[in-house]
Chain A
Amino acid sequence: EAQVTQNPRYLITVTGKKLTVTCSQNMNHEYMSWYRQDPGLGLRQIYYSMNVEVTDKGDVPEGYKVSRKEKRNFPLILESPSPNQTSLYFCASSLLTSGRGDTQYFGPGTRLTVL
Chain B
Amino acid sequence: LAKTTQPISMDSYEGQEVNITCSHNNIATNDYITWYQQFPSQGPRFIIQGYKTKVTNEVASLFIPADRKSSTLSLPRVSLSDTAVYYCLVGPSLTGGGNKLTFGTGTQLKVEL
Contact = CB atoms under 8 A, between A and B. Distances in A.
Interface of A: 4, 31, 33, 35, 40, 42-43, 45, 48, 50, 56, 58-59, 88, 90, 92, 94, 96-109, 111
A64 B101 CA distance: 19
A21 B44 CA distance: 19
Contacts, number: 69
21 contacts: A33-B101, A40-B105, A42-B106, A43-B44, A43-B103, A48-B99, A50-B94, A56-B99, A96-B94, A97-B93, A98-B96, A100-B51, A100-B93, A101-B32, A102-B93, A102-B94, A102-B98, A103-B49, A106-B45, A109-B42, A111-B41
B50 to A, nearest CB: 8
A94 B94 CA distance: 9
Given A45-B101, A58-B100, A101 B51 contact: yes
Nearest to B99: A48
B104 interface: yes
B34 A101 contact: yes
Contact of B101 (A43, A50, A97): A43
Given A42-B103, A43-B103, A58-B100, A106 B44 contact: yes
